[in-house]
Amino acid sequence: MFIQNRQHNLGLGFLVVSLLWLTSCSTVKPSEKAYLSDGEMLLTLRKLEKLEINFQLYREGSAGATGGKSGGGCGCN
């Protein structure tokens, strides 16, 4: 198996800590989300970032976890 134990534990630890962190947050009411609703605060890629990711996908060997394209198309030039 290509995932070594050390990296596996690191990933698992990262996930556990993240989940603990996430579940310990305070509740924010919809009326208090003015800052969170700002267009710059979106937890997704900007539209234009998708075009930037597209060339990085071709010029770099790794991809994913960005919510963008992860397959299809060649980009072999």
Partner 1 sequence: MLKINLSLLGLLFSLVQIYAQSFIMDSTMLYKKKALSFEEANIMSSYYHQEGNHSAITGGVGTEKLSDFANVIDLKLNRYDGRGKKYTYGAEFGVDYYTSASSDKIDMKVSSASSSDVRVYPSLNYSVENEKTGLVLGGNVAFSKEYDYTSIGGGFNFNKKSKSQNTEFGAKINVFLDTYSQIVPSEFRANLPSRQQKKGEIGNAARNTYDLSMTLSQVISKRFQLALTLDFAYQSGLLSTPFHRVYMNDGSLLRENLPGSRFKIPIGIRANYFIGERLIIRSFYRYYQDDWGMKSHTAHIELPVKVSSAYSISPFYRYYHQTAIDHFAPFKENLVGAEFFSSDYDLSAFASQFYGIGIRHTPYKSIANLFSISQLELRGALYDRSDGLSAGIVTFHVQFKGF
- Chain residues that interact with partner 1, rule: CB under 8 A: 2-3, 7, 11, 14-15, 18-19, 22, 25-28, 30, 32-36, 38-43, 46-48, 50-52, 54-56, 58-67, 70-74, 76-77
For residues 5 and 59, which CB has a smaller minimum distance to partner 1 in the complex? Answer: 59
Query: Which residue's CB is nearer to partner 1, number 9 or number 11?
Result: 11
- The C-alpha atoms of residue 45 and residue 66 are separated, in whole angstroms, by 7
User: Minimum distance between the CB of residue 69 and partner 1, rounded to whole angstroms?
Assistant: 9
> What distance lies between CA 24 and its chain's CA centroid?
21
**Cβ-contact 53, 45 below 8 angstroms:** yes
Q: How far is the CB of 62 from partner 1 (least distance, A)?
A: 4
